[in-house]
Chains A and B, each alone.
Chain A
Amino acid sequence: MHILHGAWVPRDTDDFFQPGTFYLWVETAQLLQVKPGYKIKHLDANELDEFLVQNLGITGDSAVKNIRQRLQTFYHWLPSADGKPLPSPELARWLTLPPPEEPTIALICCAITALPLNDIFKTLKELHFLVCYQRNDVQFGQDLLFWLHFSQALRQVLRKDQYIPALRYRELPGKSKKASAFAIYPGWEIAADSFESQLQWALSRMPLACTAISASASAQPLYYDRLELLRHFAECLLQRTVKGVSFPAAFEKKIRGSLLDQCLAETQSLPATSQALERYRQWQSWRQAVATRYSDDCQLGLQLVEGANETAPWQLLLLAISKQDPSLKLRLDEYWQLDSKVKKTLLKSFGGNLEEQLLRHLGYAARIYPKLWQGMATDRPVGVTLSIEEAFAFLREHAWVLEDAGFKIIVPAWWTPEGRRRARVRVAVSQSKSAPTVGKGYFSLDSVVQYRYELAIGDQVLSPQEWEQLVNAKTPLVWFRGQWIELERDKMQQLLEFWQQHGQEDASMSLAELLRKAAADEEEVDVSRNGALAEMLGKLHDQSQFEPVADPPGLHGKLREYQQRGVAWLQYLENLGLNGCLADDMGLGKTVQVIARLLFARDTAVGPTLLIAPTSVLGNWQKEVEKFAPQLKALVHHGSGRQQDAKAFKADCQAQDIVITSYTLVRKDVDLLQRIPWERVVVDEAQNIKNPKTAQTKAVLKLKANHRLAMTGTPVENRLLDLWSIFNFLNPGYLGTQTQFRQQFELPIQKNNDLQKSILLKKLAQPFILRRVKTDQAIIKDLPDKLEHKQYCNLTKEQASLYQVVVDEVNAALGDAEGIQRKGLILATLMRLKQICNHPRQFLQDGSAFTPERSHKLERLVEMLEEVIAEGESLLIFTQFTEIGENLERYLSRTLHYNTYYLHGGVSRIRREKMIGEFQDPATEPSAFILSLKAGGVGITLTKANHVFHFDRWWNPAVEDQATDRAFRIGQSRTVFVHKFVTLGTLEERIDQMIEDKKQLAGAIVGADESWLTELDNDSFRRLIALNRNTVMD
């Protein structure tokens, strides 16, 4: 893990000019074998060269390629302990070190080798892209993150032309007493009001760390004043950026000798003449007019009011808007009519001299839009009357310019992007090749539809005659069927020509093409004349149209309403011959929806369904099928004893409804599996095929099936490559080849934040993805406040063999044990077996690797956490064991890089409160909170979490519920999802069953601890702990 830091360091000088340097430096930690376990390092010259240049490809944008020649040293006061710098919070989190709690921390002065950045904007942007999308072993420190945000605010100023040439006046110590000497310096300054509010925003977010820096070493720590440092940074960077721009000779000639020229030249004072002073004064009063830092209380508004019919004039009305209360809008035509008493009270909200303010703003506005002068030949201006052409020009150009200049603009609703109706040639799908019966495979993405072109405005179809009339209209805005619309005459002429050539043809395209067209421009496609197709597109684009289906006969359990809708969707898509992705949030029950679908389709299925899932959930699938549809015959194709013979396997499959297997085995047994004509291939946790290059993905793509279905709980639409890969499985070619996809979507969206591309992609994918989230109003009403779910997982081979050894030992010892000794043996056995179910490391206590490969329980937990965090939600994990808590904390923060907290008995009260406060803070990123069951029991509210995981079990529902209630408290407005892990084939499964069976009596039978289990007789106990070898998965 490397943490990138940044510092803005003003030069140590009393000179009138005090420039600064932006330094990039890097912090890392070396893990040591011996105590104290790690060593904090600030990279030195060699390491910076290697890390920044070789590893990250960052050079700091300079002509001098060898960065070692450019490295410099500055001084940073940093928190320390024992005379050594402490890691920054990001590094500490990775090291799973609790941050120091003392109210005062010692600081030491560190000499830091750093790279000065020339183009700060560019390098910070590159680094940020790298950290966001490419590297998770590099992070921004809080200081650099702050400077990234602040430099973005400055970029906005530069993009919006909100800075002006400026003069600075300096009094020189006068030699004679009479005339005070002075100097005037040209330069640049920020003129926008909005930047001052940006500064306030930045002040509250600036870490003290950003100010604890210095160009030279100092004996005691000094901080820079925050606001002054920010201004210094902004002023220097503005100056540097503007002066760094190169202009062509022709432009330089144009401005020679002007103020602009002086402001762009090498910064030096102008000759101290009276002319220079006058120029300064002229500039001063000019700045008052242009800089938007008015103290005015009134904003001028301009409202365009359309003509009520074809001939009525258009009005541009003037409004006064109070800055204190922007909802207070006063039309001037009304204002002048008011009697003086009412005026007087009103004036309070507008700061008194309303007339002067209005006139001045009117003047400024009229300078930008001269038409306004015409409305001012009176002492009571109310606005201007506009011709249709003028109104059009106002809408097209002036309105947005005036808005940028600080005026409030109100235009008719039909002009806004949402309300706009545009002329187009659209595609009218007339019929489909075959008769419209919705039956199996009737539509597929390759199905052909026939269409014609037609001329339309908005959703209204026009005859060519009407169209031509409009083209020949003299005005750009026309009154058309009772509404004003804008005519794009040239475009309409082109469209007409196109239509004249192609309008009579019958053309055809594939359904995929149609969906693509519809995504690009909804209004371009009209399917109203093809009932079946229209209905289909309507349903695909608006999944809420699906009516819930009744539960399939034979389903053990009841579907919630949204699940019934989901099943209807699955069914509909399959009937169309389309393949979709069920992407509901974790906890909403995707599994049961798929099982319901299988039950429905059981009679028509020509073969079994192949279900591919990560090894960690195979057992869960099996369990869920047994629970909801025991009549479905399921075969788990897994383990060394699995059927390898092709013929026998085929025969085995024939008798099944479902064959369940893992991704690993699909890769290994692809030859075997691809010989079977599957009715359906379902990929669960479909993000497993996100990498198209892996053998696993390639193998999955080879399987032949009538239907394909993907399931995932991660928000795939935000992970572009995952999305493409899943679509490549579902509907190959629909999103183009991977290269096309990268060019068309991935790069523009990720690198340039291209909003339109991202909307287009969403529209393309949306018909094939059913994703309901917990926060949907329609879902919430279906959900209880708390939803409990058992998460079944299997033992790994390693766990199983350890488990068997313990069981054998106990079985031998049990016969001889009596009384208190027997009780002790039983309790110890329960403990040891639980440890094995958690993770071999916990049982072995040997410091071996805490990896998910060794425990399906951990593997499954990690998979589920990924979904929760990707969803932007926070979670709690309960465990009884400190070893598990510690290991989980380290794993989540170091390997998964999650913001993680761990509360155990040893945490001080202060620290505990701080952890809770931070976790609950809405600004904190989605986080994991690990609690030891005992420490986490009392008086804590962690309602930011809406997922609760019980990693191991207390076997006492009351204790578990009490823990769950940390998240499920007053203040929790969402459904809380409780996931309880149960290891199959072990005591965990059996005890869980016992508790379920006797839940009603739970309080009576099950005491506060596990001692009730010691009441069991020896045989019962043996049965309880016996290992069911069939459930072991590798």
Chain B
Amino acid sequence: MAALTRTWWGKRFIAALESFTDPNRLGRGRSYARSDRIQKFSIQHGQVKATVEGKINPYFGVYKTPYYSTTVEITPIPENRWPDIIKRLAGHAGIVAKLLLNEMPDEIEDTFTKLGVHLLPRNGKDFKTQCSCPDYYNPCKHIAGLCYFFANKLDQDPFLLFELRGLSRDRLHKELAKTPLGKALAQSLESVELPLQPVESYYTRPQRVAVGECSYDYFWSGEHRLSTTLEPLSPLPALPAVLIRKGGDYPPFWQQDQSFIEVMSEFYERVRKQLKETG
């Protein structure tokens, strides 16, 4: 079964959760996160909210499928600290570049620490959690499930963490726009979701047109003549899957545990080998 989070920041988030949560409930929470039980997920005003589908349990007097409303909140970073934080982040090309590529920079926490705050939750003190389930224990398995689910989302969108810490997207952009590098990042964040690109046919469908008049020569030769010999093939690439590497490892659609880059490298090498054998 694939891991719920594979990024270092997702893992750090989970580590904080795990530091103060009952192991049994964590286990149940993981299976909640993997099934379709987390519904109506949203983040508003620094709060992660969802409706979690519970289980029938006559022992607790639950006879039909229950739906619990679950909230996770992390202590917000004070409003007035953000401008300074963003300014420092945006003054670091490495951090901006990574955020541009949708990755949480490893060194991001250093910036926060210097200002006496931290971005990722460290322990139970940072969490404020709530669930409408009958479990007396907080965090319950529903909260754990929501946290795992959130960590998985966080893998794909590290900016969720800023929201969770109380900085709305709008303000983030505004603050970023104050420095040249930050402006570059803000611009790229503003780009809207790509429109769907529907196709009419699986392969390009070649259309046919009626023939106008043409001469014999035009029929048989293009605008330029073709050489009767072929250019030699270029040398093989020194490293396989170079294009794939630009996209970073573990793209969002890749749920396997093995590295996407490694698997694709092996794939390309096998294709090339077989192509060489057959000509």
- A-side interface residues toward B, CB under 8 Å? 10, 16-19, 61, 77, 79, 86, 88-89, 99-105, 107, 119, 121-123, 125-126, 128, 132, 140, 142-143, 145-146, 148-149, 152, 155-156, 158-162, 164, 168-171, 182, 185, 187, 191-192, 204-209, 212, 214, 220-225, 228-229, 231-232, 235-236, 239, 241-242, 245-247, 251, 254-255, 257-260, 267, 279-286, 288-292, 353, 355-356, 359-360, 362-364, 366-368, 373-374, 376-381, 397, 400-401, 404-405, 753, 755, 914, 921, 923-925
Give CA–CA (A208, B180) in the complex, Å.
53
CB atoms of A377 and B245 under 8 A apart? no
Contact of A99 among B183, B201, B206, B216 (CB under 8 A): B216
A86-B216, A282-B252, A290-B243 known; A356-B208 Cβ under 8 A: no
Q: Does B119 contact A (CB under 8 A)?
A: no
- Give min CB distance, B105 to chain A, whole Å: 9
CB atoms of A356 and B243 under 8 A apart? no
B residues less than 8 Å from A185 (CB atoms): 202
- Give min CB distance, A392 to chain B, whole Å: 15
**Additional pairs, 18, CB under 8 Å, beyond known A169-B196, A284-B196:** A77-B211, A89-B220, A104-B215, A156-B233, A169-B198, A205-B224, A205-B225, A225-B206, A225-B208, A255-B256, A259-B254, A290-B246, A356-B183, A360-B188, A363-B98, A363-B101, A368-B245, A404-B242
Q: Does B232 contact A (CB under 8 A)?
A: yes
Task: Provide 14 A-B residue pairs closer than 8 Å at the C-beta atoms, listed in order of the A residue.
Answer: A99-B216, A101-B216, A146-B226, A208-B218, A231-B203, A239-B203, A242-B271, A280-B196, A359-B181, A363-B101, A368-B239, A368-B242, A379-B92, A379-B180
A224-B206, A232-B205, A405-B243 known; A254-B217 Cβ under 8 A: no
CB atoms of B251 and A377 under 8 A apart? no
Interface 9-residue window, one of B24-32, B162-170, B259-267: B259-267
Give CA–CA (A381, B180) in the complex, Å.
13
Measured CB to CB, the nearest residue on chain A to B237 is A404
Measured CB to CB, the nearest residue on chain B to A368 is B245
A185-B202, A289-B246, A400-B238 known; A921-B225 Cβ under 8 A: yes
Give CA–CA (A251, B242) in the complex, Å.
20
A residues less than 8 Å from B194 (CB atoms): 281, 284-285, 288
- Give min CB distance, B179 to chain A, whole Å: 7
Over the window 241-279 of chain B, the binary record of Cβ atoms lying under 8 Å from chain A Cβ atoms (1 yes, 0 no) is: 111111110011111101000011011101110110011
Q: Does B121 contact A (CB under 8 A)?
A: no
CB atoms of A367 and B188 under 8 A apart? no
Q: Does B65 contact A (CB under 8 A)?
A: no
A residues less than 8 Å from B272 (CB atoms): 158-159, 161
Q: Does B80 contact A (CB under 8 A)?
A: no
Contact of A105 among B198, B208, B214, B278 (CB under 8 A): B214
A132-B229, A191-B243, A405-B242 known; A204-B205 Cβ under 8 A: no
Over the window 184-203 of chain B, the binary record of Cβ atoms lying under 8 Å from chain A Cβ atoms (1 yes, 0 no) is: 11011000011011111111
- Give min CB distance, B277 to chain A, whole Å: 9
Give CA–CA (A103, B204) in the complex, Å.
32
- Give min CB distance, A213 to chain B, whole Å: 10
A142-B226, A355-B180, A378-B93 known; A212-B219 Cβ under 8 A: yes
Give CA–CA (A201, B236) in the complex, Å.
22
Measured CB to CB, the nearest residue on chain A to B222 is A205
CB atoms of A289 and B181 under 8 A apart? no
CB atoms of A405 and B274 under 8 A apart? no
B residues less than 8 Å from A99 (CB atoms): 216-217
B residues less than 8 Å from A286 (CB atoms): 247, 251-253
CB atoms of B245 and A105 under 8 A apart? no
CB atoms of A260 and B264 under 8 A apart? yes
Give CA–CA (A981, B47) in the complex, Å.
100
CB atoms of B263 and A207 under 8 A apart? no
- Give min CB distance, A963 to chain B, whole Å: 28
Give CA–CA (A322, B207) in the complex, Å.
38
Give CA–CA (A204, B223) in the complex, Å.
5
Q: Does B210 contact A (CB under 8 A)?
A: yes
Contact of A161 among B216, B241, B253 (CB under 8 A): B241
CB atoms of A204 and B234 under 8 A apart? no
CB atoms of B196 and A105 under 8 A apart? no
Give CA–CA (A279, B96) in the complex, Å.
26
B residues less than 8 Å from A119 (CB atoms): 278-279
A residues less than 8 Å from B3 (CB atoms): none
Give CA–CA (A957, B83) in the complex, Å.
94
B residues less than 8 Å from A182 (CB atoms): 198
List which B114-129 residues lie within 8 A (CB) of chain A: none
Contact of A16 among B202, B229, B230, B236 (CB under 8 A): B202
A251-B270, A376-B92, A404-B239 known; A158-B199 Cβ under 8 A: no
CB atoms of B220 and A88 under 8 A apart? yes
CB atoms of B256 and A254 under 8 A apart? yes
Give CA–CA (A171, B217) in the complex, Å.
43
Give CA–CA (A356, B226) in the complex, Å.
42
Contact of B263 among A223, A254, A281, A360 (CB under 8 A): A254
Measured CB to CB, the nearest residue on chain B to A925 is B228
Give CA–CA (A86, B94) in the complex, Å.
67
A residues less than 8 Å from B76 (CB atoms): none
Give CA–CA (A214, B209) in the complex, Å.
12
CB atoms of B234 and A159 under 8 A apart? yes
Give CA–CA (A289, B107) in the complex, Å.
23
CB atoms of A229 and B246 under 8 A apart? no
- Give min CB distance, B178 to chain A, whole Å: 12
Q: Does B54 contact A (CB under 8 A)?
A: no
CB atoms of A121 and B279 under 8 A apart? yes
Give CA–CA (A241, B278) in the complex, Å.
11
B residues less than 8 Å from A288 (CB atoms): 194
A residues less than 8 Å from B270 (CB atoms): 245, 247, 251
Q: Does B158 contact A (CB under 8 A)?
A: no
Give CA–CA (A366, B255) in the complex, Å.
24
- Give min CB distance, A318 to chain B, whole Å: 10
CB atoms of A223 and B100 under 8 A apart? no
A16-B201, A104-B214 known; A279-B253 Cβ under 8 A: yes
CB atoms of B211 and A212 under 8 A apart? yes
Q: Does B16 contact A (CB under 8 A)?
A: no
Measured CB to CB, the nearest residue on chain B to A354 is B184
Q: Does B154 contact A (CB under 8 A)?
A: no
- Give min CB distance, B194 to chain A, whole Å: 5
Give CA–CA (A255, B271) in the complex, Å.
15
CB atoms of B205 and A258 under 8 A apart? no
A residues less than 8 Å from B100 (CB atoms): 356, 359-360, 363
Complex A-B, nearest 3 residue pairs according to Cβ-Cβ distance, in ascending order: A122-B279, A376-B94, A356-B184
CB atoms of A362 and B263 under 8 A apart? no
Contact of A221 among B211, B232, B254, B268 (CB under 8 A): B211
A228-B205, A236-B203 known; A405-B211 Cβ under 8 A: no
CB atoms of A187 and B202 under 8 A apart? yes
CB atoms of A368 and B274 under 8 A apart? no
A residues less than 8 Å from B101 (CB atoms): 289, 360, 363-364, 367
B residues less than 8 Å from A169 (CB atoms): 196-199
- Give min CB distance, B207 to chain A, whole Å: 5
CB atoms of A373 and B252 under 8 A apart? no
CB atoms of B215 and A204 under 8 A apart? no
Give CA–CA (A143, B222) in the complex, Å.
10
CB atoms of B215 and A102 under 8 A apart? yes
CB atoms of A206 and B222 under 8 A apart? yes
B residues less than 8 Å from A214 (CB atoms): 208
Give CA–CA (A742, B26) in the complex, Å.
71
A285-B194, A288-B194 known; A362-B93 Cβ under 8 A: yes
Q: Does B79 contact A (CB under 8 A)?
A: no
Q: Does B90 contact A (CB under 8 A)?
A: yes
B residues less than 8 Å from A235 (CB atoms): 203-204
CB atoms of B253 and A914 under 8 A apart? no
- Give min CB distance, A923 to chain B, whole Å: 4
Q: Does B221 contact A (CB under 8 A)?
A: yes
Contact of A229 among B206, B268, B275 (CB under 8 A): B206
Give CA–CA (A720, B67) in the complex, Å.
83
Contact of A366 among B97, B217, B220 (CB under 8 A): B97
